Amino acid sequence: MSIGEGSKFPISGFGAAWNRGLIADATIEIRGSGLVATAYGFPGLTATLVGTGLYAIGFPATVAAGMRIYPHAMGPEPKGPTGAFLGPQGSGGYAGSVPGFNVHMSHVGGQSGTALLSTTSPLVNPSGAVGPTGTTRIFPPTGSVVNLQFLASPVTRY
């Protein structure tokens, strides 16, 4: 069964959205050297490192006409010896860090069930007299997390 067929809520973490669309949530945890440690959120989700800072995302194909994926980068969170996240530190601040990288989606194909996720440097690389060359793809820091929100819409593009 693909996304959009049959019952939508409360099955498999999917929920009904406006205009009979679907909304789903997923998480990708990054291990050292950019490798995917875990990808979870709904059945059929896959994330594979295919190049420096480039991940092939697979998900169940949608019957709906359009798919949007909104990525959100989260920095590594320190964990204690039991694996639990560390709580407030010092004067009430939380142990945690800014992501140190940006995330972008491209080549999103709802009916093929594929997309590309790029993790890029937050800084523009100078190239001397020619001018800046833009951002470059990088491996996210070890322990980073990328959250993905999927929105499948039955509205066709015009």
Condensed to tens digits (0 to 9), the pLDDT of residues 96-128 reads 567 889 999 999 987 888 999 999 988 766 665
The structure's pTM equals 0.73
| Number of helices (H), then strands (E), in the chain | 0, 11
Cβ contact 66:155 at 8 Å: yes
Q: For residue 51, how many other CB atoms are within 10 A of its CB?
A: 11
What does the mean pLDDT of the chain come to?
76
- Model pLDDT, residue 96: 55
Task: Name the strand (E) or helix (H) holding 104.
Answer: strand 102-109
Condensed to tens digits (0 to 9), the pLDDT of residues 1-49 reads 555 555 544 444 455 555 567 788 999 999 888 898 889 988 889 999 9
